[in-house]
Each structure stands twice: as C-alpha cells, then as structure tokens.
Amino acid sequence: MKKVFTTTPKQDGFRMPGEHEPHSEIWMAWPERTDNWRNGAKPAQRVFADVAKQISKTTPVTMLVSSEQYDNAVSRLPDDIRVLEISTDDSWMRDIGATYVTNDKGERRGVDWEFNAWGGFVDGLYSPWNRDDQVAQKMCEAIRDSRYRAPIVLEGGSIHVDGEGTLYTTEECLLHESRNPDLSKEELTAVLCEHLNVDKVIWLPRGLYNDETNGHVDNILHVVKPGEVVLTWCEDENDPQYEISREAYDYLSSQTDAKGRNIIVHKLPMPGPLFMSAEEAAGIDIAEGMEREAGERLAASYANYLITNKQIVLPLLDERYDNDVKAILEDIYPGYEVNGIPAREILLGGGNIHCITQQVPKI
C-alpha cells in the first residue's frame, strides 16, 4: 500500500498540471445504472466505447467496470484498452477519480477529494455513493501512486487549472450549501491553493443553465492554455444561458491570471437548446434524485471536451454547430487533431466527454 500523506501538495512542491500537458493514461468507468442510462445502458456503453477507442489513438485508456459487467465490457472494447474490475456507483470518472499533482523531480501523487454524489443528502443525485468515494484511492493503488486525502467535498469537474498557478471554478458549485457549508469562500480558496498548488482562484459566478452538478466549471469553460480559455456562448436573449454567458465573459474580461496576464476568451456556440425526448425518457428507470423526464432541458456544451496528447476529443451535439465548433477548436489548437464523437447518449446521463474521463499526467 502506497503512502497517504498528511501534508499538502503545496508544502511538498507538487502542482496540478494543466490538461494540455502530456498524459500517461486516461481513466474511464463503464456505465450501467438503469436509472440514469436508458435501455439498460446499452446505447451509452456504445458511445463510451467509441470515446475510449478515440482516446486510445494517442493515450492509453483504463476502463473501470463492475464484476457483473466485466465480460460485456471486455467484449465491447478493443484489446489495447485495459479493463479493471473496480466497483463504482456511476461512471463520471472526472468527478470520482484522483486529481493528479506532480513535481519537478518526476514524481506523481493523487489528490483524493471527498465525494457526495453532487450534493449529499441536500440535493445529491443518488445514494449510496460510497463506492464512488473509494475510486480515487483505488486508482492511486492501481497505478502505485501515493495520495493526499483532501479535507473538502469536491468533484473534478468543478475545477480547471492552467498549470501555471491559476484555477477556475464557479461560486454556484463550490459555495453551494450541499458541498462545504461550514467553509467561507476565503477558506475554500486556501484549501484549493494548498491542495493544487495554485496562487489564484478565478470564481465564475455561475455554470451552465440547468446543470444538475450545481454548475461545474467544465461544462461552461475550458482552459486552452495559460491565459486563454473557451466559454460557452449563447446569442438568444430569451434563453437563460444568455445572461449567464455574458456575466462570465464580463467577469473573465475583468480578471488577470496568476501571472498577471489578461485572459483571452474564445466564444464557443451553445448547442440547442436540447431537450430529452419522450422516447429517451421512457427507457430510463424511475428513481429519486435524478430528473429524467420528457422535455427536460439538457445541459449541453461543447466546452465539455477532453484534451489529451495533442488530441481534442469533442462531443458532437447539434448538426447546426458541430462543424463550426470543430473549426474554431482547430484554429485555437494548431498542431492538434480535433476528433468529434456523437455524444447525445452521454448528455442524457447529465454530462459529457470531459465528465467521463480523468487524465493521469506523464512524469
């Protein structure tokens, strides 16, 4: 068993690399919850497999799967994707996996946050969530990396870093009563700075409209590189996202990052608005917590893509905008391959490609 440190990454000289830095592997988890994924999760499993295959062209992939689904997952995934039997409660690897930090000596450690299913008993999406809360520890054990157990509730999708001292998050999520109600904004900032070794936290007011994660930053914004981000943009004045996007843009435009740079903001068109169809809703088992009803607005965003080893894996969500967004990202990321995956099945479960992946940095 590897060591659990009682110090902090900042004290030990470790920092969280930006997503644009090199990766040794990407971790995912196989979907199977029938109260979240329609038709026995078979459509979602096909798309998760497509995402894993695309990532594996540049980065090795590890897929976690339950004992019940092990044979099924192995049969649906190519041989170069490692399948590990590790129990989860659902398949949002970004939020349940370890957040990795590295130092300049070629060492790597995981940060293991407390997880409470996006809100615990206040407004969490399911219970129990204990298997999800164990995933970060099991991930570190499997990779043989030591870890820190952080003292706050936090999901990986609620933070983005630039690798040079700046962290982006939202007040809507981290200051929500269901996360860390006993901590002030200043106290949370201090914990984030200690556990990710950042110098400045940029607090967007809100995340994407109707996002059941209480507004994760990774569904409205992505860090391109230090001093540069993309932001979900809405042109319809009657859409609730219109005001949220402008509020975020104005805020980002008024900020500098940890190195004193003005932040360049690229606008990504918002798909839709998209809604769950009656047929899609009919295929989902009824359960408390998650709203999966016909007509429910889906929290769709092109910002929810993955950067991995000179590749962008992009969710394709709306034929009206897919090609435009691909062209924007190809322009923003010269030298990168931008690959789109039809991702509505992931969206129906409440997130997208960034939400179902977690990177392990190369050392």
In a domain, 218, yes or no: yes
Starting at the edge strand found earlier in the chain, the sheet holding 311-316 runs: 306-307, 311-316, 337-342
Task: Give the pLDDT score at 1.
Answer: 57
- Does 2 map to a domain? no
pLDDT at position 286 is: 84
Structural domain contains residue 164: yes
Residues designated catalytic: 355
In CATH, what number is assigned to the domain containing residue 213? 3.75.10.10
Q: Each residue of 4-23: pLDDT tens digit?
A: 999 999 999 999 999 999 99
Q: Tokens 């269901």 label which residue?
A: 178
Mean pLDDT by 10 residues, the chain (363 residues): 89 98 98 95 98 98 98 98 98 98 97 97 94 98 96 98 98 97 97 98 98 97 98 98 98 98 98 96 84 91 98 98 98 98 97 98 96
Residue 153 placed within a domain = yes
At residue 290, the pLDDT reads: 75
Picking from 78, 184, 90, 77, the residue whose alpha carbon sits closest to that of residue 130 is: 90
If one counts the domains in the chain, the total is 1
pLDDT number for residue 191 = 98
The verdict on residue 129 lying in a domain is yes
Residue 16 falls within a domain, yes or no? yes
pTM: 0.97
Interior/surface letters 238-260, b for 16+ CB within 10 angstroms, e for the rest: ebebbebbeebeebbeebebbee
Asked if omega into 273 is within 30° of 0 (cis), the reply is: yes
Domain assignment present for residue 4? The answer is: no
Residues of 337-361 as b/e, b for ≥16 C-beta within 10 angstroms?
ebbbbebbbbbbbbbbbbbbbbbbb
Domain extent, residue 112, equals: 9-361
pLDDT per residue as tens digits for the range 284-298: 998 776 778 899 999
Asked if the structure places residue 3 within a domain, the reply is: no
